[in-house]
Amino acid sequence: MLLRLFKGTGPGVIFLIIVTLIAVWISAFLIPEIDSVFHYETDPMPLYGLLKQVIGNNHILGMILSFSMVSLMAFFLVNFNTTVFFINERTYLPALIYILFGGLFPQYQLLNPVLPASLFLMLAIIRIMEGYRKPGTAYNFFDAGILISTGSLFYANLIWFGLLIIIGIALLRTGNMGEIAISILGLITPYLLVFGLYYVIGKDLKALLSLVEDNLFARSAGYLFPRLTVVALIFTAIIMLVSIAYLFMFINTKKIKSRKTFFLLIWVFVISIGVYFVLPSVSVEIVWLTGIPVSYFLTHYFVFVKKKLVPEIFFSVLFILILLIQIWYLK
């Protein structure tokens, strides 16, 4: 069955993942238009605005860049587990699940600020975990702050994930106040540089401040959920709940670093869900951030659950639903 095919580690699996990536993204290349106007498109954050200026109205170039960023994220997801080895299994499933998860909303499979922001978040997670048992002051947290803050200059709501650095310090360290201070300094630094640059070149600082405020708190364009997408979301939510419950059943049996990595990912999930429901500026584009922890939760479940039939059914139905969403969007 499908899950058995994708659980391998040979070159054939990499080929199948590439084919799946192309299949999931084919609708984006065939319909490269924005269905509705999002506030981050009309009033983009500085780095996203700069990126849009460079690309201009070249939709194909924008799609190629978006496709490349998702491919790079897939690599980061697999490499992170290979390095930390917190799932205790060499697998390409995190990359595949992230690709499928992003396919839930074809309208957001285009150039948008969350894609580069998601890469910065992933790099920040990697830097946070590199602070585990590091002697002395771990400047990894300063780097993580820089990464998250820089990513928020593409997608403003990434700044809320700055909480993740404090949580990481609490999980991995002994409450070093110096590390908390440098992490906050890391979060502030990119904004100091941007505001300083605006001041030097004579741009309106109040306009920049208003821009950031709008991107953080203005109401986002609503998203109409098609019935097929609703079905897929309900089914995905069931699998997520099952996989998280399964993780908690065995999390205390894992090595300390693996356990702490999963706890950090759980906080990524909690923050992403929290900002979606609390902030009016956040819509389903958050899927590109939520997909990071979800890809690991589902991978852990699919790899280790002993009853093989149920995960096979879960995976196959999810795979088919994503492809149906893509086909339906092409109509």
Q: Domain extents for the chain?
A: 2-330
- Give one DSSP letter per residue of 188-252, joined into a string: HHHHHHHHHHHHHTT--HHHHHHHHHHHHHSPPPP----HHHHHHHHHHHHHHHHHHHHHHHHGG
pLDDT in single tens digits along all 331 residues of the chain: 788 889 888 889 999 999 999 999 988 887 755 555 677 888 899 999 999 999 988 888 888 999 999 999 999 999 999 999 999 899 999 999 999 999 999 888 888 999 999 999 999 999 999 989 887 777 899 999 999 999 999 999 999 999 999 999 999 987 678 899 999 999 999 999 999 999 999 999 999 999 999 999 988 877 888 899 999 999 999 999 999 999 999 999 999 999 999 999 999 999 999 999 999 999 999 999 999 999 999 999 999 998 889 999 999 999 999 999 988 887 6
Instruction: Supply the pLDDT for residue 299.
Output: 97
Residue with the two structure tokens 């984006």: 28
204-240: pLDDT as tens digits: 999 999 999 999 998 887 788 889 999 999 999 999 9
**Residue 85 zone, left/alpha/beta (φ > 0; ψ -120 to 50; rest):** left
Is the Cα torsion angle 26, 27, 30, 33 positive or negative in sign? Answer: negative
12-28: pLDDT as tens digits: 999 999 999 999 998 88
Token readout for 184 is: 């906050």
The total number of residues written for the chain in this structure? 331
Instruction: Supply the pLDDT for residue 251.
Output: 94
Instruction: Supply the pLDDT for residue 47.
Output: 97
**Residue 202 zone, left/alpha/beta (φ > 0; ψ -120 to 50; rest):** left
Reported pTM:
0.95
Residue 204 neighbours by CB distance under 10 Å: 11
Instruction: Supply the pLDDT for residue 78.
Output: 96
- Give one DSSP letter per residue of 11-70, joined into a string: HHHHHHHHHHHHHHHHHHHHS-S-SS--HHHHS--HHHHHHHHHHTT-HHHHHHHHHHHH
Instruction: Supply the pLDDT for residue 4.
Output: 87
CA atoms within 13 A on the CB side of 205: 12
